[in-house]
């Protein structure tokens, strides 16, 4: 570029990025899709989430391998309601790749109280735990928040949302039943 052209370009760049503009890196990422649920509005990027999960070989329960996790891993396909799988699929989350699953206890009903969470690329536009109603799908109850605990490496530096769930589910495997 000639000196004359450079003179023209520089002032324009100044206009685009004034010195007092500190929004770089903080600007809200633009997401392609929006999930709307009662009390919630969540933007997400399915393709980016799928790309991230492609680098994660197994889910949290498989890594832990305690009795409660083994039971979960062996029976999650039967436990997760179709609507929940559809929701996860829409977000780009493989249902077998929970970040963590934890067993709370065997309830008096004979069902087991479990909790766990998934991450996906996106942001919570609207909605907040204990303000918005939990999203209920069958025995699952869930809510969303920005960021997340134990975020897997492939999602480092991305805008992420944690889908946190609790569920009361039967113990369906032959693994010795946890108390």
Residue from 48, 69, 137, 163 that binds Zn ion (CB under 5 A)? 69
Q: Which residue's CB is nearer to Zn ion, number 49 or number 71?
A: 71
> Can you tell me the distance from the alpha carbon of 175 to that of 61, in angstroms, rounded to the nearest whole number?
14
- Burial (Cβ within 10 Å: 0-12, 13-18, ≥19) of residue 171: buried
Of the candidates 51, 54, 45, which has an alpha carbon nearest to the alpha carbon of residue 121?
45
User: Which range, of 49-57, 59-67, 123-131, 151-159, touches Zn ion by CB under 5 A?
Assistant: 59-67
Q: Which residue's CB is nearer to Zn ion, number 63 or number 90?
A: 63
Least separation in angstroms between residue 103's CB and Zn ion is: 7
Least separation in angstroms between residue 102's CB and Zn ion is: 7
Does residue number 73 form part of the binding site for Zn ion (CB under 5 A)? no
Residue from 37, 41, 56, 66 that binds Zn ion (CB under 5 A)? 66
Residue from 37, 64, 74, 95 that binds Zn ion (CB under 5 A)? 64
Number of residues that bind Zn ion (CB under 5 A): 3
The DSSP line for 75-143 is HHHHHS-HHHHHHHHHHT--TT--SEEEEEEE-TTS-EEEEEEEEEEEEEEE--TTTSPPEEETTEEEE
Q: Which residue's CB is nearer to Zn ion, number 59 or number 92?
A: 59
Q: Which residue's CB is nearer to Zn ion, number 73 or number 124?
A: 73
Q: C-alpha 106: how far from its chain's center?
A: 26
User: Which range, of 66-74, 112-120, 136-144, 169-177, touches Zn ion by CB under 5 A?
Assistant: 66-74
Q: Which residue's CB is nearer to Zn ion, number 41 or number 64?
A: 64
Of the candidates 60, 74, 77, 80, which has an alpha carbon nearest to the alpha carbon of residue 142?
80
Q: Structure tokens of 36?
A: 């709307």
- Classify residue 6 by its DSSP letter: H
Interacting residues toward Zn ion by CB under 5 A? 64, 66, 69
């Amino acid at each position: 570029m000639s000196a004359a052209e450079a003179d023209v370009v520089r002032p324009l760049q100044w206009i685009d990025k004034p010195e007092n503009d500190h929004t770089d890196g903080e600007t809200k990422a633009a997401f392609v899709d929006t999930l709307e649920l009662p009390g919630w509005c969540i933007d997400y990027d399915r393709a980016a989430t799928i790309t991230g999960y492609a680098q994660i070989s197994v889910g949290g329960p498989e890594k832990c391998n305690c009795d409660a996790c083994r039971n979960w891993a062996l029976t999650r396909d039967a436990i997760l309601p179709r609507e929940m799988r559809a929701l996860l699929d829409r977000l780009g989350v493989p249902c077998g790749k929970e970040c963590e699953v934890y067993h709370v206890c065997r309830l008096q009903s004979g069902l087991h109280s479990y909790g766990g969470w998934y991450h996906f690329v996106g942001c919570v536009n609207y909605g907040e735990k204990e303000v918005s109603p939990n999203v209920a799908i069958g025995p699952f109850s869930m809510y969303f928040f920005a960021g997340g605990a134990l975020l897997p490496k492939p999602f480092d530096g991305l805008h992420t949302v944690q889908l946190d769930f609790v569920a009361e589910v039967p113990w369906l495997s032959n693994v010795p039943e946890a108390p």
